[in-house]
Chains A and B, each alone.
Chain A
């Protein structure tokens, strides 16, 4: 797939509503569509060591979007950072568009995995962290973004329970908590990770400085989870 050069202007956070609007037909988006937006932006803007030029580099950081539903914010960030041409955005969901309502790694430059069915990203991220370690690549970070209701899927718990005792300290999970799980207890998300030996932080998922501090907090010898709380989905 050929990637045409995007305009040379650097796209910023303030451009994201317009970029999302190219997909949704409206520049105003409700909290559900943007629940991941701030966490994604802070990661791609300030944390992840990956660029369009480095997307095949074995030593790049990996970001795995596990919560594949509502990927407009993800595509907007990938477009803003030059992974995906802005011209692709209006085709969102069309037959000949690479940008589906769930992302496909084979079609989307910069997407590390295809997702949509919930509960697949974290186990794949565990394997990615193990693989990088086995190859002697100790520096790349592995990041996976999941939703709070996605944690209903038992496959996540297989991965959480393994990664803590295995000491996968290059593994990071971001849980976007918009209170969408039907059966949940307050504080339950971080507690489950902590019980498995993870380092955990819970922050305001709209506060960029708080997100950045949580993303970059040291966690020697342990995997790290950041629970990013945003507006309740059904509020």
Chain B
């Protein structure tokens, strides 16, 4: 199967052809995919070199002249290194861009921690007005990229990963999808963790919601699911564990509820190796998930919690 990132340059190259507002800003990483687009649109495909503060600052300048910048590099260098540019040059200047990241959590474990940014979504949560898409399949990535570019002047983050589910789903860029229905808890699976969550919850009486747009958080969708399944909620996120716990608590602020936030651990592993090894180390493989989800929703059914 091709990766989400394999789709990125072709999709955005088509958008460059279709829409004269669209511009691409790169900092070396990912430029090969745009070789043909640079020839066709030399003034709208800009590689600033290895300069990530300029990457985001220049994107803001492009937006101020009416263009729709699509900005791409690894998450560490897109959100973390130029974070103040993201906060001020886009947010405070009241303008927007589409930030498209790759390799955020541990897509390249052999590359080590310098190339990991599991806190990217949590960081964006400190800012106002960001839409965050976390596709779980290349087809979904294509849909959400198009939606992001078309979203006026909005600030949109699209988190691409080499980790993906086997099949794409009909995501719309707004609401959670109900994949499975049960009566003893709600599991929200974000993006590429869905397959593992479905395997982990096989035979458990839980509702599984599939989220590929996590900001804004689909509060209404979650509340609807809790009507039949109760208010024990497990989040399984492919980034920093607990990133959306506050969003769940806000959604259920007026009812008693329990939340378990699963995801990438905060502690630096200092391990290389493979994606599978890192999935297991963070307890995000199906077996570990089953243990943790089963234990949590089971406890929720204990006497006194009815």
Q: Residues of A with Cβ closer than 8 Å to B? A: 58, 104-106, 112-114, 117, 119-120, 122-135, 137, 154-155, 158-159, 161-162
B179 CB within 8 Å of chain A: no
Determine the distance from Cα of A164 to Cα of B192 in the docked complex, in whole angstroms: 43
Counting from the closest, the 5 A-B pairs by CB-CB distance are: A127-B61, A123-B57, A131-B65, A127-B58, A158-B51
Contact B59 A127, beta carbon cutoff 8 Å: yes
Contact B54 A134, beta carbon cutoff 8 Å: no
Contact B88 A135, beta carbon cutoff 8 Å: no
Residues in A with CB closer than 8 Å to B65 are: 58, 127-128, 131-132, 134-135, 137
Which residues of B from 37 to 58 have beta carbons under 8 Å from A? 43-44, 46, 48-49, 51, 53-54, 56-58
Determine the distance from Cα of A106 to Cα of B95 in the docked complex, in whole angstroms: 10
Contact A127 B60, beta carbon cutoff 8 Å: yes
Contact B66 A135, beta carbon cutoff 8 Å: yes
Contact A134 B44, beta carbon cutoff 8 Å: yes
A128-B64, A128-B65 are contacts. A120–B89 as well, Cβ < 8 Å? yes
Q: Which of A126, A129, A131, A159 contacts B67 (CB 8 A)?
A: A131
B85 CB within 8 Å of chain A: yes
Contact B85 A131, beta carbon cutoff 8 Å: no
A123-B53, A155-B53 are contacts. A130–B89 as well, Cβ < 8 Å? no
B178 CB within 8 Å of chain A: no
Min C-beta distance of A83 to chain B, whole Å: 17
B17 CB within 8 Å of chain A: no
Interface on chain A toward B: helix, strand, loop, or mixed SS? helix
Min C-beta distance of A152 to chain B, whole Å: 14
B94 CB within 8 Å of chain A: yes
Give 8 A-B pairs besides A128-B62, A132-B65 with Cβ atoms closer than 8 angstroms. Answer: A105-B93, A114-B88, A114-B92, A117-B84, A123-B53, A124-B93, A127-B61, A131-B67
Contact B67 A124, beta carbon cutoff 8 Å: no
Residues in A with CB closer than 8 Å to B44 are: 134
Residues in A with CB closer than 8 Å to B58 are: 123-124, 126-127, 130, 159, 162
Contact bitstring B65-99, A, C-beta under 8 A = 1, else 0 = 11101000000000000001100110011100000
Contact A127 B64, beta carbon cutoff 8 Å: yes
* Chain B residues bordering chain A, tally (CB within 8 A): 30
Residues in B with CB closer than 8 Å to A114 are: 88, 92-93
Residues in B with CB closer than 8 Å to A112 are: 64
Contact A159 B43, beta carbon cutoff 8 Å: no
Determine the distance from Cα of A113 to Cα of B61 in the docked complex, in whole angstroms: 9
Contact A131 B53, beta carbon cutoff 8 Å: no
Contact B93 A130, beta carbon cutoff 8 Å: no
Contact A134 B93, beta carbon cutoff 8 Å: no
A154-B53, A158-B54, A161-B51 are contacts. A129–B84 as well, Cβ < 8 Å? no
Contact A123 B54, beta carbon cutoff 8 Å: yes
Determine the distance from Cα of A135 to Cα of B88 in the docked complex, in whole angstroms: 24
Determine the distance from Cα of A187 to Cα of B59 in the docked complex, in whole angstroms: 31
Q: Which of A104, A123, A154 contacts B89 (CB 8 A)?
A: A123
Contact A131 B88, beta carbon cutoff 8 Å: no
Residues in B with CB closer than 8 Å to A105 are: 93-94
Residue on B nearest A137 in the bound complex, by CB: B65
Min C-beta distance of B60 to chain A, whole Å: 5
B144 CB within 8 Å of chain A: no
Determine the distance from Cα of A122 to Cα of B224 in the docked complex, in whole angstroms: 49
Residues in B with CB closer than 8 Å to A129 are: 61
Min C-beta distance of B42 to chain A, whole Å: 9
Contact B88 A120, beta carbon cutoff 8 Å: yes
Contact sample, A vs B, 20 pairs, CB 8 Å cutoff: A58-B65, A58-B66, A113-B64, A114-B92, A117-B84, A123-B54, A123-B56, A123-B85, A126-B58, A127-B69, A128-B65, A130-B23, A130-B58, A131-B61, A133-B43, A154-B53, A159-B58, A161-B49, A161-B51, A162-B58
Q: Which of A120, A128, A135, A137 contacts B85 (CB 8 A)?
A: A120
Residues in B with CB closer than 8 Å to A127 are: 25, 57-65, 69
Determine the distance from Cα of A124 to Cα of B57 in the docked complex, in whole angstroms: 5
Contact B88 A126, beta carbon cutoff 8 Å: no
Residue on A nearest B84 in the bound complex, by CB: A117
Contact A134 B23, beta carbon cutoff 8 Å: yes
Residues in A with CB closer than 8 Å to B61 are: 123-131
Contact A158 B48, beta carbon cutoff 8 Å: yes
Determine the distance from Cα of A107 to Cα of B59 in the docked complex, in whole angstroms: 22
